């Protein structure tokens, strides 16, 4: 590009150039200055609202105060689950900067054991963002203040004075009430409720705690605080109190519940007591159990492992999820069915120590000679019922059993039931594609073979026999129609009479379990359920796992039934030996508490203390044993 | 009329008022940023200001000739210091900027901002007018700017390197080099931006990218800018009131007493405070521009313009940064931010310009 010839540059010309260019520079600076002023005006005037909001949301932190959970009380208002003040500290993973240092400090300050540290590390890994991880709950004032003092150096630590769920009777209500726990990440994802990531907030995880979660949860309080960028609280701005959850009233009798649980002793089993007037469940026990208090505090992995390792299965609710062959406890039902199908209860059959069916000989427990129906129940004569079953066929008996509630799943709050089987020919055809045989009928009538029921069903069955009405079990005040059963009075009376004889007639199978009371008698029926075929032992001794189950059903008082019960003692070797004495004691408790407590005191002295004392000792022993072969686990 | 002694007449009261006004306002903000305390910042900053102001007034009494004569020597000296930083400076805050002299930590790159302007002014003052449009006018200047800028970039300190370049380029511009040289250099520079970008350190690249898209890192580097805008924006017109800024007091605003002090101020004093401060800076720059226009010698003209630009660059980049118009570079707000190095630089500039002003009052003007 040809350029224009410029005039020679002189000093004067250079001076003018300077002035012009200096003004250009100055002008540019002024323009930038004006632009900056305009920008600032824009931010602080036009965008002011938005930024005021953002600065407020920076400054003010809304903390939810977990609501106090509603109580769960028994029929007389006694607490089965309540709250107690609890001092706790949590870690907010997002705010934890120097993890090793902080955890190390906590371990020394709070003397946390290896177990706890392991759980904390596991929880920290699983926790998301701001979801708090419990370090320690139920701290003493001294521990709590030792943390408060060092709070500035412990990043991510959130101390809190809150409430913890408390179960006054501990393991006695484990399966009934369930337990609460901190919500996990999945549960939070489902509801997206900020309360779910608030430290100290617990939701029902099992049993009634879970079933009545909505009623029990309450309304959270809120606390507006001013916080620094690091999350340090500067001052409180305002607080709104929480609203406690509603109280759940159960039909349970707390004292009875505890007594039954304690009376079960070291046995594994279940016991259900039902009020024959309305179906109220007065006690609902499955033992051994877990202590729901330890679950609420965040159970340690070794305690959980201990529970899982126990062959008595403390984590399974045997009252609703344990299925057992009911054995002879089904005989009163067979008797009712027999009368309804035209068998005269006074008709006699001769027991020759068994019953011959074709080429097979079905054994009886003894040689009872000539028995009528009531005597057959009293002596638990298999031969008599083999004869009945052979005559009627089980298809005639099964509908009666079903009417009694066997094989039925009840609408019961918070329970997760396995409802077992009352077999008939259609069932067998469907399940095994085989016709029903006469020997199936014989097995079924004595509660063996394909028959399986849970203890709750047995208790309902007993309550229905005792009341003559179709009672439904209930844990809360819930209306059922409870219509009369379509059976003749004679049929029901015969069954009840037979059961009366079982306990109160010399020679009855539960004669030793007569109530030690004046004027009040209990009727009942024992049952012994084979666990394995006789080839693995005779069921009366040997390995615990292969021993027979002991069952007992009963009601009292005989003349005006009020309480019905079913007890199952796993591998108890026989109903009269293991189950009936337990029922006798808690039935006694219902009428004479002092007398029953005396008996219990003697038993517990032999067993090594109360449930909690025994559990603590067992756990300690297990931990000591478990840590020996595997030294890594102890650290 | 009361006769005023000439010694007092010679003191630039107006300038002292401007400087004290800006710094005094800054002290209030520092007082507030410390939660209503004179320590640790406000008191120290005040004492430092008095010392540096005295120093500037003393420098201002020196004959201008001295600055011109020693400009090359000073340039070579500071360049050697920069080299020394590379060789034995210690690392602080992720970059190597300081020389430990035992009694203080010296940051030679700060001295270079002043020295480059003075040295280039000397160079163009000596350049025969006829050579203004020749290559002779160009390459020595480019070398003089390029060496220190490269050394500072190695530290790495992008803000200071830019400051050195812009001071030098402005001196070249007002010395009358052909206009199209700057135009084409700017065009080439724009085209070469992606290449230059690749020379930046990772964290500097990240800052630039985050500046372009602050939402991409709301809790990291973008956090500074968004919190700064929240502080300024929430102040509104009148501000939240003295000692009432939540952003700075609750630590949401990082560096609330140094690089982001303007946001701290704007939150409590609002738009009114911001405009007042801008007006203060305007008065300061207007004074220095006038010094340049009235300068008696060519050296004075060029040096004053360049030094004005150096001060302006501090202000503009800092304010653009806190208002989200520029990436986060560590440049303090002159006289306002807590810190000694930048105040030392500013006061040196002021001192030299006072010398230029005094020079133009004493002698006869050589140019129009």
pLDDT tens, residue by residue, A148-160 = 888 888 877 888 7
Highest mean pLDDT among A3-17, A357-371, B48-62, B315-329: B48-62
Q: What is the model's pLDDT at position A634?
A: 37
Quote the minimal CA–CA distance from B291 to chain A in Å. Answer: 11
- CA A530 to CA A328: how far, in whole Å? 11
Least CB–CB distance from B247: residue in A15, A40, A55: A55
Task: Grade residue B364 by pLDDT with cuts at 50, 70 and 90.
Answer: low
Spatial separation of the C-alpha atoms in residues A252 and A271, rounded to whole Å: 13
Do the strands A72-73 and A79-91 form a parallel or antiparallel pair, or are they unpaired? Answer: antiparallel
Residue A547, helix vs strand vs coil = coil
Spell out which residues of chain B touch residue A230, defining contact as CB-CB under 8 Å: 251
Q: For A241-290, what is each residue's pLDDT tens digit? A: 889 999 999 999 999 999 999 999 888 999 999 999 999 999 999 998 98
Question: For residue A12, which residues of chain B lie inside 8 Å, CB to CB?
Answer: 367-368
Which of A210 and A625 is assigned the larger pLDDT? A210
pLDDT at residue B102, as a whole number: 55
The pLDDT assigned to A539 comes to: 62
pLDDT of res. A1: 46
What average pLDDT does the segment A358-377 reach? Answer: 89
> For the residues B42-69, what does the mean pLDDT come to?
93
Compute how many other C-beta atoms are within 10 angstroms of the C-beta atom of residue B147. Answer: 17
Of the candidate ranges A285-289, A431-435, A606-610, the one whose mean pLDDT is the lowest: A606-610
Q: Mean pLDDT, to the nearest integer, of A25-38?
A: 94
Using the predicted structure, report yes or no on whether residue B50 has a pLDDT greater than 90: yes
Reduce the DSSP state of residue A314 to 3 states and report it: coil
- CA A312 to CA A292: how far, in whole Å? 17
Q: From CA A511, how far away is CA A501, in angstroms rounded?
A: 8
- Closest residue by Cα to residue A261 from A272, A250, A274, A248: A272
Q: What does residue A332 show for φ and ψ, rounded to 5 degrees?
A: -60, -35
SS3 B273: helix
Residue B140's pLDDT band (cuts 50, 70, 90): very high
The answer on pLDDT for A527 being more than 60 is: yes
Closest CA to B366 of B290, B294, B288: B294
The secondary element (H helix, E strand) that includes residue A237 is strand A233-240
Distance (Å) from the alpha carbon of A87 to chain B's nearest alpha carbon? 28
Domain chopping of chain B, boundaries = 14-360
Burial (Cβ within 10 Å: 0-12, 13-18, ≥19) of residue B283: middle
Question: Which pLDDT belongs to residue B23?
Answer: 96
Question: What's the pLDDT at B84?
Answer: 83
Instruction: Report residue A339: phi and psi, to 5°.
Output: -65, -40
Between the alpha carbon of residue B359 and those of residues A592, B62, B125, B310, the distances in Å are 117, 9, 16, 21
What is the C-alpha end-to-end distance of chain B, expressed in Å?
A: 34
Q: Is the pLDDT of residue B368 over 50?
A: no
Mean confidence (pLDDT) of chain A:
86
Facing residue for A229 by CB, picked from B170, B232, B252? B252
Residue with the bigger pLDDT between A29 and A100: it is A29
Residue of B nearest to A45 (CA): B236
Q: Do B230 and A55 touch (CB under 8 A)?
A: yes
* Contact residues, chain A, for B215 at CB < 8 Å: none
* B contact residues 139-158, partner A, Cβ 8 Å cutoff: none
How would residue A76 be classed by pLDDT, with cut points 50, 70 and 90? Answer: very high
Cα angle, residue B155 at apex, residues B152 and B159 outer, rounded to 5°: 55
Contact B271 A55 (CB under 8 A): no
The residues, any chain, with a CB within 8 Å of residue B53's CB and separated by 6 or more, are B16, B19, B20, B347
Residues B78-103 pLDDT 10s? 999 888 887 765 555 445 566 665 55
**Residue A235: strand pairing partners:** A226
- Output the pLDDT for position A630: 47
pLDDT of amino acid A3: 54
For residues A15 and B183, give the distance between their C-alpha atoms in angstroms, rounded to a whole number.
Answer: 22
In degrees and rounded to multiples of 5, residue A84 shows phi and psi of -135, 155
Provide mean pLDDT across the span B262-276: 95
Radius of gyration of chain A, Cα coordinates, nearest whole angstrom: 36
pLDDT tens across B185-239, in order? 888 888 888 887 887 777 777 777 777 776 666 656 678 888 899 999 999 999 9
pLDDT band, residue A304 (cuts 50/70/90): confident
Q: Which domains does chain A have, with CATH numbers?
A: 61-249 (3.90.1310.10), 254-622 (3.40.710.10)
pLDDT at A161: 79
Question: What percent of chain A lies above the pLDDT cut of 70?
Answer: 94
Give the predicted TM-score (pTM) of the model: 0.66
Secondary structure letter of residue A297 according to DSSP: T
Instruction: Considering only residues A297 and A633, tell me which one the structure prediction assigns the higher pLDDT.
Output: A297
Minimal CA separation from B86 to chain A, in Å: 34
Report the complex ipTM.
Answer: 0.92
Average pLDDT value for residue range A566-574: 89
> Residue by residue, what is the 3-state secondary structure of A383-409?
HHHHHHHHHHCHHHHHHHHHHCCCCCC
Contacts of A40 in chain B (CB under 8 A): 232, 266, 271, 274-275, 278, 319, 323
Spatial distance between the Cα atoms of B304 and B301, rounded to a whole number of angstroms: 5
Rg (CA), chain B: 21
* Beta carbons of B208 and B200 less than 8 angstroms apart: yes
Helices assigned H by DSSP within chain B: 6-9, 13-33, 42-61, 64-88, 108-126, 139-154, 158-174, 179-191, 193-199, 202-212, 221-235, 246-249, 261-294, 298-322, 340-362
| Mean local confidence (pLDDT), A293-301 | 79
B250 to A234: CB separation less than 8 angstroms, yes or no: yes
Q: By the 8 A CB rule, do B274 and A40 touch?
A: yes
pLDDT at B134: 86
What span, in angstroms and rounded, lies between the C-alpha atoms of A177 and A205? 10
| Residue B334 pLDDT grade (very low, low, confident, very high; cuts 50, 70, 90) | very high
Q: Is the CB of B266 inside 8 Å of chain A's CB atoms?
A: yes
- Name the token pair of A404: 């009694």
- Structure letter (DSSP) for residue A8: P
Position with higher pLDDT, A595 vs A536: A595
Q: What pLDDT sits at residue A88?
A: 82
Give residue A632's pLDDT band: very low, low, confident or very high (50, 70, 90). very low
Chain A interface disruption, residue of B234, B253, B280, B333, most A CBs within 10 A: B234
Residues 3-62 of A with CB under 8 A from B: 6, 8-19, 21-22, 25-26, 29-30, 32-33, 36-37, 39-41, 43-45, 47-48, 50-52, 54-56, 58-59
- Other CB atoms closer than 10 Å to residue A317's CB: what's the count? 27
């Amino acid at each position: 590009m040809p350029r224009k010839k410029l005039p020679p540059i002189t000093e004067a010309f250079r001076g003018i150039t300077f002035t012009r260019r200096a003004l250009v520079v100055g002008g540019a600076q002024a323009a930038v200055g004006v632009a900056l002023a305009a920008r600032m005006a824009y931010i602080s005037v036009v965008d002011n609202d938005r930024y005021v909001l953002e600065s407020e949301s920076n400054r003010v932190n809304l903390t939810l105060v977990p609501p106090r959970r509603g109580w769960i009380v028994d029929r007389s208002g006694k607490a089965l689950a309540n709250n107690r003040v609890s001092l706790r500290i949590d870690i907010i993973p997002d705010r934890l900067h120097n993890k090793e240092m902080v955890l190390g400090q906590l371990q020394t300050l709070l003397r946390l054991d290896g177990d706890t540290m392991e759980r904390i590390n596991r929880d920290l890994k699983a926790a998301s963002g701001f979801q708090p991880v419990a370090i320690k709950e139920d701290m003493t004032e001294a521990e709590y203040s030792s943390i408060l003092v060092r709070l500035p150096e412990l990043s991510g630590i959130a101390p809190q004075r809150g409430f913890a769920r408390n179960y006054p009777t501990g393991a006695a209500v484990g399966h009934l009430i369930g337990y609460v726990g901190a919500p996990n990440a999945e549960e939070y994802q489902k509801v997206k409720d900020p309360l779910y990531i608030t430290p100290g907030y617990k939701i029902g995880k099992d049993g009634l705690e879970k079933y009545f979660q909505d009623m029990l949860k309450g309304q959270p309080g809120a606390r507006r605080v001013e916080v620094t960028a690091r999350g340090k609280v500067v001052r409180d701005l305002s607080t709104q109190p929480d609203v406690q959850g509603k109280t759940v009233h159960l039909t349970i009798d707390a004292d009875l519940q505890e007594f039954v649980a304690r009376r079960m002793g070291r046995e594994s089993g279940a016991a259900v007591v039902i009020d024959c007037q309305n179906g109220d469940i007065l006690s609902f026990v499955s033992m051994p159990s877990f202590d729901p208090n330890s679950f609420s505090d965040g159970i340690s992995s070794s305690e959980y492992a201990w529970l899982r390792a126990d062959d008595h299965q403390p984590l399974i609710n045997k009252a609703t999820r344990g299925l057992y062959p009911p054995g002879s406890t089904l005989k009163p039902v067979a008797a009712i069915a027999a009368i309804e199908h035209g068998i005269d209860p006074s008709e006699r059959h001769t027991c020759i120590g068994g019953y011959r069916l074709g080429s097979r000989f079905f054994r009886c427990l003894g040689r009872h000679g000539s028995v009528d129906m009531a005597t057959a129940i009293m002596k638990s004569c298999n031969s008599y019922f083999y004869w009945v079953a052979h005559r009627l066929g089980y298809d005639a008996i099964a509908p009666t059993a079903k009417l009694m509630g066997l094989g039925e799943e009840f609408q019961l709050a918070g329970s997760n039931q396995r409802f077992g089987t009352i077999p008939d020919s259609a069932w067998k055809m469907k399940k095994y594609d085989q016709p029903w045989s006469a020997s199936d009928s014989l097995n079924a009538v004595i509660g063996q073979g394909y028959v399986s029921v849970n203890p709750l069903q047995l208790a309902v069955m007993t309550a229905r026999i005792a009341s003559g009405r179709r009672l439904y079990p209930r844990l809360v005040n819930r209306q059922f129609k409870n219509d009369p059963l379509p059976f003749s009075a004679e049929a029901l009376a015969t069954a009840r009479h037979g059961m009366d004889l079982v306990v109160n007639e010399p020679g009855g199978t539960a004669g030793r379990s007569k109530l030690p009371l004046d004027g009040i008698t209990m009727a009942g029926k024992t049952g012994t359920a084979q666990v394995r075929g006789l080839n693995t032992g005779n069921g009366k001794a040997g390995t615990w796992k292969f021993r027979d189950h002991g069952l007992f059903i009963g009601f009292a008082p005989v003349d005006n039934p009020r309480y019905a019960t079913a007890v199952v003692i796993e591998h108890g070797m026989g109903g009269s030996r293991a189950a009936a004495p337990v029922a006798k004691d808690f039935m006694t408790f219902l009428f004479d508490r002092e007398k029953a407590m005396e008996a219990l005191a003697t038993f517990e002295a032999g067993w090594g203390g109360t449930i909690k004392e025994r559990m603590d000792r067992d756990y300690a022993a297990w931990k000591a044993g478990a840590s020996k072969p595997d030294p890594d686990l102890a650290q | 009329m009361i006769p005023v002694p000439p010694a007092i007449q010679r003191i630039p009261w107006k300038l002292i008022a401007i400087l004290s006004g800006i710094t005094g306002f800054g002290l209030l903000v520092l007082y507030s940023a410390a939660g209503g305390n004179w320590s640790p910042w406000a008191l120290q900053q005040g004492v430092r200001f008095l010392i540096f102001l005295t120093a500037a007034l003393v420098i201002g009494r020196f004959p201008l000739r001295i600055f011109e004569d020693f400009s090359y020597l000073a340039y070579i000296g500071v360049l050697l210091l920069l080299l020394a930083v590379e060789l034995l400076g210690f690392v602080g805050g992720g970059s190597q900027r300081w020389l430990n002299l035992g009694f203080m930590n010296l940051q030679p790159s700060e001295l270079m901002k002043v020295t480059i302007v003075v040295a280039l002014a000397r160079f163009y003052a000596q350049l025969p007018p006829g050579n203004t449009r020749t290559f002779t006018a160009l390459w020595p200047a480019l070398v003089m700017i390029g060496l220190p800028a490269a050394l500072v970039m190695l530290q790495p300190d992008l803000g200071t390197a830019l400051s050195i370049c812009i001071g030098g380029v402005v001196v070249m511009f007002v010395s009358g080099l052909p206009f199209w040289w700057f135009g084409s250099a700017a065009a080439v520079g724009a085209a070469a931006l992606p290449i230059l970008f690749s020379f930046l350190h990772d964290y500097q690249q990240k800052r630039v990218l985050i500046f372009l898209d602050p939402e991409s890192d709301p809790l990291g580097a973008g956090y500074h800018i968004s919190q700064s805008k929240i502080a300024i924006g929430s102040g509104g017109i009148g501000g939240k009131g003295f000692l009432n800024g939540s952003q700075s007091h609750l630590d949401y605003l990082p560096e609330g007493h140094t690089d982001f002090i303007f946001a701290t101020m704007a939150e409590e004093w609002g738009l009114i405070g911001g405009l007042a401060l801008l007006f203060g800076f305007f008065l300061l720059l207007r004074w220095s521009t006038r010094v340049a226009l009235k300068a008696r010698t060519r050296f004075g003209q060029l040096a004053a313009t360049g030094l004005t630009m150096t001060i302006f660059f501090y202000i503009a980049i800092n304010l653009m940064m806190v208002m989200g118009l520029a990436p986060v570079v560590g440049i303090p707000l002159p006289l306002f931010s807590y810190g000694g190095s930048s105040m030392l630089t500013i006061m040196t500039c002021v001192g030299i310009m006072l010398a230029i002003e005094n020079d133009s009052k004493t002698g006869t003007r050589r140019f129009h």
